[in-house]
Structure 1
């Protein structure tokens, strides 16, 4: 049963989550807007478009995948101003879930005694393969 106390606790926790996520999402959206207004986003997009087309993403998708190496929430925030389709969001999120924070996690894996570069390479290739497969099997633009 939902009581007034439970409801208030839920609201408080929800506000905490919003504040926490805002720390990542707002700077990401800001960065995308700065790149957009400076003209750099268009240049990066044009350069990356041929490569990103294999995984069904626009050239700007490269920035989202790059942001995913720093912060998964930042990558999600970067998707907002780009107006991606549901298919493109699915591809981005799937790739980022496989290959995120690669520099930090490679250091951790190496410290644990495993081959960090092999681990990073496998994760990168798995993410790209996932992007190609999803682009092929998901209908839509």
Structure 2
């Protein structure tokens, strides 16, 4: 019995460390890239371009970085992109909730749209619908929260 507990704890620790390592390999580079972008005019240019659309959802234009990372990589990449912005932008709980909801609706688009395509749904249709629903949900949340 005691050996089973030790084995379970050892296995759990190893799997936890493996997961932490895999997430760190994704999150740390993205965090540094976004931190560098924050200190260049490039992020401001991107934010200015997307501000009119994202303003409808009540979030700053800089949030587009997290939305893009979430849509094209995964949710963890979106979190990594959002972390350095949280320190420099005065994001409210409402704004963070809106960004998180939008990311959760349209995360990992290339992979999930490819899977949907295998079921017969066109890749472009899944992509457009998920992006549109994410944007509409952002606008609705901004209105009701």
Alignment TM-score, normalising by the size of structure 2 = 0.80
The reply to whether residue 75 of structure 1 matches residue 78 of structure 2 is: yes
Please say which of residues 37-46 and 61-70 is displaced more in the overlay: 37-46
Q: How many matched pairs?
A: 136
Residue matched to 2:22: 20
Runs of 4+ with deviation above 6 angstroms: none
Structure 1 gap ranges (5+): none
RMSD of equivalent CA atoms: 2.1
Distance (Å, rounded) in 2 between the aligned partners of 1:87 and 1:14: 31
The structure whose residues are more often helix, as a share, is 2
Residue matched to 1:53: 55
Distance (Å, rounded) in 2 between the aligned partners of 1:81 and 1:61: 11
Residue matched to 1:34: 36
